[in-house]
Structure 1
Amino acid sequence: MARLSRAEQQVRTRAAVLAAARAEFSEHGYAEARVDRIAESAGLTRGAIYANFPGKRALYLAVLLDLEGAEESAPMESGRDLADAVEAFARIWLERLPLTSDAPADGRLRLRSLTGVFETGGAERAAMAGVARLEGLLLALALEERALEGRVPEGRVPEGRAPGRRLVRLAEVVRSLLDGVCHQAEVAPGVGDPFDVVRAGRHLASLDLGEAWEPPHRAFVAPAERDGRAWDPPEPFTDLVGGDQVDLWRWDGLIVVLGTGRLGAAEEAVRSGEPVTLVVVSERPAELGALVRLRVADMARCLRRIAPTNAAEPGGETQTGGGTAEGLSTEAGHGTEAGGGIEAGGSATGRSAGPGGSADRDATVRAGAAKGGPAALRVVVDDDGAVAGALRVGVAEQAEVAVRVRGRHMVARAEGRGAALAVADYRADGRR
């Protein structure tokens, strides 16, 4: 029998630990779970567990991420307007509600519950708030594109058309409703009718919250500085939004590095109208970094399942199958032509598996940005700080640095609050 390599042994050990941990958390819940029992069940020592995971919290998050990766993602067809998209999202989100017959601890795993997992420390509270805002932004971009398509024949934006209204606050209200239902299911399963919640979500789409986009601090943001240095990007990363590989060495656009305490600044990058790669860094990657990875991947998977009812028509704007979603398109030119949205089909280079290839996709992204549409957005978690190091950015929970890259050179750079706005406004002649 061939001897396993060290890498293979590590994979097997990790799989055994995750299986034992899942059984422990399913039976006892997070608070009552014990690492000693997990180690015994996996046939390992307590020290071997901590050699792979820094603590019970990191182990619990790893179990949730493992469950997320195994989740089915069948498309759910819906109509083409905003109310249809909100309803479909609510239906998808509420599929995770546990049955009254489920064991309480197992039901919490289904809900991806984080109750009692994170303390109330400043860094953790800031990370939880920031990731909630990032989730709201992802949902809002998908809803904004659906709202725009509902008003424009065949989802096309006429030349010079202004973008649709901002729907971040609406997205946050929808998420608050659904999060409340999930929390109620955690403490009082069986209470309330999820179909009523879905109908309520549909009615929320008619709310006009008077949303506008112009951060109050924009006038006080210092201009970006010219850079010009070459940079050597690390190996490709996985885009949490689209699931594809991000090849930063061919990326032209904004790279925005944010710590978990500054994730709320992601919208400033997106509203710049530039294609954006958001790089999330943390001093605690197994905990706070894993939190971001879990929540963003969960949101993106749900959004990819929302498919317009005419998506399979020849020449349609989107495609069912392959995880295509409203605002998450694999068809070259779709999201940007329709006012932007979240590009999820290609890698960070803008390359496409569909017609047009790299140059066509890049040109289309820029054309969509010029029309005022939201930028392409890709999200990666920089666990080992490789991207941050290549960009000469320190890893910190409050990090906020934006760099415009072109042809493997850093053209402009800004740090601190409003960094993305500053780099988006940068002009080589020094004017803003």
Structure 2
Amino acid sequence: MVRLTRAQTQERTRSGVLAAARAEFAAHGYGDAKIDGIAARAGLTRGAIYANFTGKRALYLSVLAADAERAARRSGAGAAQVRSPREALAAIARARLSGRALTGAELPAEVLDDDRVRTAHAQLLTLEAVVLGLALERLGRRGRGTRVAASALTLLAGADGLATSAPGFADPFDVVAACELLAGLPPDRGGPRPYLRHVAPARPVDEPWPGAPAPRDGIVHVLGLHRLEAAEESVRSAPAGADVTVALVAGRPDDLEPLARLVLARLDGTLRQAIPEPARPPLRLLLGPAAADLAAAAGVTEPADDTEAAVRVEAGRLVARADGRGAGYAVVAGAVTRAVARPA
């Protein structure tokens, strides 16, 4: 008989708990599902459930996240014919409407009955709009695309809610057509946020990357789940071709990380189905252990929901550090300033 390692045993237990939770939520919905019912289905004690998950919200979001991740991996490359912002918006709408049962687009109000969770959810949606907006720009959208993407996500969220509360009311073909029309919104120049003029310069350093392997040359932006809107600052400030990696962290990841997994999986599936590869923004989003490792390398040893720090990497070495609001902008602006000041 093969003996399982401790890690394998823990993973098997978590998988069993998630399977039991999925059945409990399917039978009773979020509001009426009980931890005791999940424990009974899993053949475990209530304490064993809490040893693996912080509570019912974390369990529910973990189930949705796992389903969304599977759906994203199964997503076909259906974006080859998308060549314009209008076509992309229609493809985004079709992808979201066809995948609503798997992506958990509409979350029960009880799941979002905590200010900390609501703030993180809003910031995750903002990050989603930033990524999709950048894709629209790469497909020819004039001006900033974030507002258009956010409007499309708002329309689709409303349609998703009505699909549950008033089945048959909204025609999905009309919803797709409405999203297409958002391509005609006036250009939004969206200049840099005023506070960036007052951001302290980054600290020049010359240090080896702590650990291996070093990331590609570019910017590593560490952001708490309440500060994700700042990702747009590093992406837009970075020079052409620079790699931008955003590490998502939280003060208590056990209850917010499943929500982030859900939104990022939904975004991944949408990009695969609606945005051709050349139009996808050069932005990597990391969560979990990989994000924690990058955060530690950037000097963030105790992440918080409002964490903001950034480093710039060149030839495998750290050349600039910054923290606080505008950190992503600071490490780019500082590097550009040094490059300009360097004698010819």
Is the TM-score greater than 0.5?
yes
1:280 counterpart = 2:248: yes
Partner of 2:230 in structure 1? 265
Shift of 1:31: 1.4
Q: 1:74 aligns with which of 73, 76, 89?
A: 76
- The C-alpha deviation readout for 1:170-227, integer Å capped at 9, x for no partner, is 1111111001111122222222111111111111111214333322222111111112
Contact 1:272–1:424 (8 Å) recurs in 2: yes
Shift of 1:410: 1.6
Q: 1:142 aligns with which of 135, 152, 156?
A: 135
**Letter of the 1:132 counterpart:** L
Partner of 1:91 in structure 2? 94
For residues 223 and 303 of structure 2, the distance between their equivalents in structure 1, rounded to whole angstroms, comes to 9
Shift of 1:431: 7.2
Q: Indicate the structure with greater helix content.
A: 2
Using structure 2 for the length normalisation, give the TM-score.
Answer: 0.89
1:178 counterpart = 2:156: yes
- The C-alpha deviation readout for 1:231-289, integer Å capped at 9, x for no partner, is 3247xxxxxxxxxxxxx514211000011111110100110133210011101212212
**Letter of the 1:380 counterpart:** L
Shift of 1:110: 4.9
Distance 1:75-1:385 versus aligned 2 partners, 3 A rule? closer
For residues 231 and 82 of structure 2, the distance between their equivalents in structure 1, rounded to whole angstroms, comes to 29
1:406 counterpart = 2:314: yes
1:426 counterpart = 2:329: no
For residues 309 and 6 of structure 2, the distance between their equivalents in structure 1, rounded to whole angstroms, comes to 37
Shift of 1:56: 1.1
- The C-alpha deviation readout for 1:131-169, integer Å capped at 9, x for no partner, is 111010111112111226xxxxxxxxxxxxxxx521110
**5+ residue gaps, structure 2:** none
Percent sequence identity over aligned pairs: 41
For residues 105 and 314 of structure 2, the distance between their equivalents in structure 1, rounded to whole angstroms, comes to 42
**Letter of the 2:5 counterpart:** S
Shift of 1:115: 2.8
Distance 1:25-1:287 versus aligned 2 partners, 3 A rule? same
For residues 406 and 16 of structure 1, the distance between their equivalents in structure 2, rounded to whole angstroms, comes to 45
Paired residues, number: 332
CA RMSD of aligned residues (A): 2.2
Partner of 2:191 in structure 1? 213
For residues 295 and 116 of structure 1, the distance between their equivalents in structure 2, rounded to whole angstroms, comes to 18
For residues 269 and 208 of structure 2, the distance between their equivalents in structure 1, rounded to whole angstroms, comes to 35
**Letter of the 1:69 counterpart:** E
Q: 1:292 aligns with which of 260, 273, 279?
A: 260
Using structure 1 for the length normalisation, give the TM-score.
Answer: 0.72
Q: 2:125 aligns with which of 132, 135, 149?
A: 132
Shift of 1:17: 0.9
Contact 2:309–2:328 (8 Å) recurs in 1: yes
Partner of 2:48 in structure 1? 48
Q: 2:283 aligns with which of 371, 377, 388?
A: 377
